[in-house]
Structure 1
C-alpha cells in the first residue's frame, strides 16, 4: 500500500470519467419512505390484531426491516442525495430517523461534517476507535480490555443491538454546545420527538404489543445498521489525511440483499462522493477498482464481520491493531490484515498440507 492521498485527488480524476447527472439528487428514491411507513403500519396492525405470539414475532421482523431501511434512507436524504430542498430534506430525514431515535440536525453535524471531514482521524473523527495510550486512561475501557478476546468480541456484537441509538445520544451531549443558541431548540426537539412518538405508541398498543411493535424491531435495526457501520472503518488504518481508499471499506452482499439495504455497503464510494446516490455506487466502484486497484478495500460482509470478531479494537499505531492481553499485533486493511493473520492456525495447517503435498510429488518424481 502506498502513502496517503487526499480525497480531492480521487474526486478530480473520477469526475472526468463519470456523467454529470451522477451528482444530481435522485428524487425517485423518496418512494421508499411511504413504502417503509406502510410496511410498519401494516405489520403493527397485524401485531395488535393477532393473539398468536409467533405471528407477532414474524411481523416484528417486518417492522425491523422497515426501521433499518428508513435509517439507510435517512442517511441518503440528509446527505442531499434525494432532494436539495432543505425543508423537505429536514422533514423527511427527521421522520426516517424516528425509529433509530436520531435527530436530523444533529446527524448532519456529527456525521456529515465531523465524521466525513475527519474520517479515521485519531482525535477528530467522533466515530473512530481509540489508541492504546488513550484507552488505558479510562477505567472502564481498561477493565474491558483485560478480558478474554472472545468475551470482548461477544460484548461488541451484543452492543450492536443498541449502540447506534446510544452513540447518537452521546453525540448530542458532545456537539450540542457547538450549535448556535437559536439552533439548539431544534436539535433538542428532534432528539425528544422520537421518544414522544414511541411513548404514544406504547400507550396506544399496550406493553406486550409494544415489545413487538418497537422494542424487538429497534434491536434488530440497530444490529443490522451497526453490522454495516462497524465494518465501514474499524478494520482500516488511522489516517491524518482524509484518504477514503485507505480509511474506508466497501462490504459486498448478494445483489438482492444490497437492493434491500439500499446499497449502503458501498462505503468507499460514499466517502469519495457523499452526495452521490447509491443508485450509481456500483459504477463508481468499478471505476475506482480500475484506477486504483492496489488501494481499493473490499470484503464480503460476512468476512468483514468475522475479521471484526477476530481482531482487537485498539490501535497500537496508525497501521496496527493490538491485543492488549498478549501484545499481539494485527495489521489493518492494506497493511497486512488477511486470512493468514486473522486465522494463524488455519494458515499453519494449510502450509503444512502444501509441504506434505510437495514432498509426495517430489518423492513420486524420484
Structure 2
C-alpha cells in the first residue's frame, strides 16, 4: 500500500492513517515481545536467538547485544541509581548535548508542548544514538553525554557494530522497496515508526522518571506500575506492570497480575500503582533534573520540588 500512496488522490490519504496506527503499535509490540524473550530462557539456541532478536529490534535501531548491555545488565542491576544510564540527569552534571536534548524533549513542568510532541517521536532514536555513540566511540566509559556512561567488552563492541550494519541494511531495504517518494516514505515508513516510538516512550518516561534515586536497587522505591485499560495490557504484554517486571524480570508477563496482588498485600504502603493519566500529569507538573535523591529541580536550579514517589526503603 505504501508503494502506491503517491498514486492516491491527496483527499483520500487520511484513509491510510488507521494502517499507520496499527503498524505503529506493531513497533511497540516488537520491542516489548523481544524485551520479554531476552529476559527469559525460553529460547536457548543461539542460531535461533540471534536472528530473532535482531528482527525484533531492527525497527528500534537497537542491536540486541547493545540492548542486553544497556537494559538487562546496566538498567536492571542499577535501576535509578547514579550508575543507571536510563535515569534523569543530575542538575550537577556538566552541560552536554544529551542533557540539553533531554531537557528540551522530556515531559516536565517546563517543556514546550511543541518540543514535547516532537520529542515523543524522536526520543527513542536519541536514546539509542546516545548509548551507541557512548560505547562505540568512548571505549573507556568516559562519555559525558549520557546520564551514566558504561563500558562493553571488545567482543560486545564488535557484535554491536555488525548488528548495527545489518539493521541499517534492513532499513535501507524497506526504504528502497517503498520507493523514494515523499508520501510513501512519510506515511508508510516514518509515521508508523514515530507512532511506535511515542508509544514506547510513554511507558519509558513513566516507569522510573518520577521516582527517587535509590542507592540500593529496590523496585518498590524506584519503579512505578500503571493502571491502563485491559485491552492495552493485552496488546503490550502487561508492560504496565513495571514494578512487577523489576521484581521478577524473567517470568512470563502473564503472571504479573498475580505478582501485583502479592505486592499489594505484602507492601501496601510502599507499592506504587497509579493511573497512566495521573502519571503523565505528574510528569508535566514536576521538573526533570535530580537536585538530590528525593528532590527535582529545573535546568537553572530555580524550581525545587520533592519527588512525587520518594517513599523510603524499609
Same fold (TM over 0.5): yes
SS at match of 2:43: coil
Matches within 5 A, 1:86-165: 86-122=46-82, 124-135=83-94, 137-138=95-96, 141=99, 149-152=109-112, 155-165=115-125
Q: Say which of 16, 19, 28 aligns to 1:56.
A: 16
Computed over aligned residues only, the root mean square deviation of the Cα atoms, in angstroms, reads 2.8
- Structure 1 stretches lacking a partner, 5+ long: 1-42, 337-366
> Equivalents in 2 of 1:140, 1:248: separation in Å?
23
Q: Say which of 284, 291, 298 aligns to 1:316.
A: 291
- Structure 2 stretches lacking a partner, 5+ long: 140-150
SS at match of 1:162: helix
Matches within 5 A, 1:351-362: none
Aligned to 2:159: 186
1:93-113 Cα shifts (integer Å, max 9, x gaps): 111111111111110001000
In structure 2, relative to structure 1, the CA distance for the partners of 1:50 and 1:144 (3 Å cut) is: closer
Aligned to 1:214: 189
1:245 Cα shift? 0.5
1:54 Cα shift? 1.7
SS at match of 1:125: coil
In structure 2, relative to structure 1, the CA distance for the partners of 1:315 and 1:282 (3 Å cut) is: same
1:297-328 Cα shifts (integer Å, max 9, x gaps): 11111111111111110111101112455733
> Equivalents in 2 of 1:182, 1:60: separation in Å?
38
Q: Say which of 160, 176, 198 aligns to 1:203.
A: 176
> Equivalents in 2 of 1:183, 1:324: separation in Å?
35
> Equivalents in 2 of 1:53, 1:142: separation in Å?
36
In structure 2, relative to structure 1, the CA distance for the partners of 1:174 and 1:55 (3 Å cut) is: same
In structure 2, relative to structure 1, the CA distance for the partners of 1:152 and 1:117 (3 Å cut) is: farther
Aligned to 1:9: none
* Larger proportion of helix: 1
1:193-237 Cα shifts (integer Å, max 9, x gaps): 222212112222222212222100111011000000010000000
Aligned to 1:10: none
1:336-366 Cα shifts (integer Å, max 9, x gaps): 8xxxxxxxxxxxxxxxxxxxxxxxxxxxxxx
1:158-178 Cα shifts (integer Å, max 9, x gaps): 312111122112211223434
TM-score (norm 2): 0.83
1:140 Cα shift? 8.2
Contact 2:103 2:111 in 1 (8 A): no
Considering Cα pairs closer than 8 Å and 6+ residues apart, tell me whether 1 or 2 has the greater RCO.
2
Contact 1:110 1:126 in 2 (8 A): yes
TM-score (norm 1): 0.72
In structure 2, relative to structure 1, the CA distance for the partners of 1:330 and 1:82 (3 Å cut) is: farther
Aligned to 2:31: 71
Contact 1:237 1:332 in 2 (8 A): yes
1:184 Cα shift? 2.9
Contact 1:78 1:90 in 2 (8 A): no
> Equivalents in 2 of 1:143, 1:262: separation in Å?
30
> Equivalents in 2 of 1:99, 1:48: separation in Å?
23
Contact 1:77 1:92 in 2 (8 A): no
In structure 2, relative to structure 1, the CA distance for the partners of 1:156 and 1:120 (3 Å cut) is: farther
